Structure 1
């Protein structure tokens, strides 16, 4: 199929098709007369590219998405898009405040807070693989909404960046990588946010959580002590993550710095400790909630 036929079939302009060819997003065959010959695979690929472009995905991001068979690239982009939309909404609010008389200096400080949040969340996504990275990115993003006002906060911010920039890669065995990808493929941004909100509610009222989930907790504990779980990929994954977090500085560098940077996270951490004490007093064999 020649380019003008492809353009008519897909609704993608010839200029755009030529650009995608130049970028290596599609690679049609070249006929003896020099014309491009687009097969069915190229036509389908153009349809995919068209959808991604309309969703606001850049050319470089599209390359990543189309070369990724796990689906993780799209899920990462979903997280980035959600956080980007929240930042844009915050900027819209700041624009309204500026037009209503708020000083440029005040707006500048608020903008710095937005950039601080963006920097940390992007580095979290880069530092941790797959679902784990998406989860902790969204988990911590909600606490990164305070301006840096003190030298201690600035030092904590720099410590966080240094930690994330120098974090060794979390090298998972091939079987665990496959398990992580397959078991979380259907867990999108909305589901992660729902889990985070549910955990927050449980932490705020651990007694209610225990009362409402008694049967589930007993079944959960029975499974965790079973041989089936001890031999499962989930157990191996949790053990590996615990070791990584313990040895990488996640617990003794990153979290203390985050508590110094964000008062809302420090408050959340205190709530979490209280909730863990309540739960462990009744179920000492259960694992603590992760901060």
Structure 2
């Protein structure tokens, strides 16, 4: 059926349906004339999406639920996180009420410390621990895997190891590279970090879902990208210098041994994601051997 009828059946706007398709949540057949032909299965999924969205479930979580073999269990996980957020809001409101009645910072500091383990997500705790561009970088790089809380002793030890590592590691950038990063995050035209993260994650998801197909479909673009990254122009640019600096930093600072190893403990989803990335890298290096030189891989 055509999109107009789908809108009526699902009580959704055309833009909403197009958005859900762009997120690979539905897969209508594309006819020779370019029109979409929506099946009854698409209708069922759109109704499911509509219900879950009205329950406050995020698009990322909906994608997991739709492909889950146990949807009630997948939704129960979302409900648990929602309950934690509601509890957090209640506790924050209680703190603010107490401060309004009697502005005793020491009392509320102690109160919030007792709630810290379950009040905030791991992502939020890291951002609080490292304000500024440093925390923003960590959040953008790992954040989507750290929306849970620290609920085991093993995770607590892993989190503490990560904080100690990030706090002591010598990440000193040359002045020109510091200026480059500062300009990136404080551009006059404000960069939408969440949008960048979403677009990057979307491309990675597409590539990991069908690595061979993705690489073949984008072969020309990938070859041009590898050629540019290998060029003197890029190598002498601030971006090229920053890439080399970060590669050396990761090799010499214990990045893999401490940060990544403990991130995998904090988030099984991240550990699984890394396995897929490593498998995709192996495929890419076979198809594009020059990529090995681009990232100075040995």
TM-score (norm 1): 0.55
Match of 2:16 in 1: none
User: Secondary structure at the residue paired with 2:265?
Assistant: helix
Residue 225 of structure 1 pairs with residue 230 of structure 2: yes
| 2: CA distance, partners of 1:248 / 1:160 | 13
Match of 1:279 in 2: 284
Deviation at residue 180 of structure 1 after TM alignment: 3.1
Match of 1:144 in 2: 146
Deviation at residue 281 of structure 1 after TM alignment: 1.2
Runs of 5+ consecutive residues of structure 2 not aligned to the other structure: 1-80, 91-113
Q: Summarize the alignment of residues 106-255 of structure 1 with structure 2, pairs less than 5 Å apart.
A: 112=118, 114-123=120-129, 126=132, 128=134, 134-168=136-170, 170-182=171-183, 185=187, 186=189, 187-189=191-193, 190-255=195-260
Deviation at residue 262 of structure 1 after TM alignment: 1.0
Choose which of 85, 88, 100 in structure 2 pairs with 1:91.
85
Deviation per CA, 1:220-251: give whole Å up to 9, x if none.
12222222222222211111111122222222
What count of residue pairs does the alignment treat as equivalent? 187
Deviation at residue 111 of structure 1 after TM alignment: 7.2
- From the CA coordinates, give the structure whose radius of gyration is larger: 1
Deviation at residue 88 of structure 1 after TM alignment: 8.6
| 1: CA distance, partners of 2:88 / 2:125 | 19
Computed over aligned residues only, the root mean square deviation of the Cα atoms, in angstroms, reads 3.3
Higher relative contact order (CA 8 A, sep 6+): 1
Deviation at residue 114 of structure 1 after TM alignment: 3.0
Deviation at residue 206 of structure 1 after TM alignment: 1.5
Are the counterparts in 2 of residues 113 and 146 from structure 1 also a CA contact under 8 Å? no
User: Secondary structure at the residue paired with 2:181?
Assistant: helix
| 2: CA distance, partners of 1:171 / 1:194 | 29
Are the counterparts in 2 of residues 113 and 145 from structure 1 also a CA contact under 8 Å? no
Are the counterparts in 2 of residues 223 and 229 from structure 1 also a CA contact under 8 Å? yes
CA gap 1:208/1:122 in 2 versus in 1, 3 angstroms: farther
CA gap 1:197/1:134 in 2 versus in 1, 3 angstroms: farther
Are the counterparts in 2 of residues 204 and 275 from structure 1 also a CA contact under 8 Å? no
Are the counterparts in 1 of residues 150 and 156 from structure 2 also a CA contact under 8 Å? yes
Deviation at residue 179 of structure 1 after TM alignment: 2.9
Deviation at residue 126 of structure 1 after TM alignment: 4.6
CA gap 1:110/1:197 in 2 versus in 1, 3 angstroms: farther
Runs of 5+ consecutive residues of structure 1 not aligned to the other structure: 1-86, 97-107
| 2: CA distance, partners of 1:204 / 1:178 | 37
CA gap 1:264/1:174 in 2 versus in 1, 3 angstroms: same
| 1: CA distance, partners of 2:242 / 2:175 | 12
CA gap 1:207/1:122 in 2 versus in 1, 3 angstroms: farther
| 1: CA distance, partners of 2:83 / 2:179 | 36
Deviation per CA, 1:92-113: give whole Å up to 9, x if none.
38889xxxxxxxxxxx999717
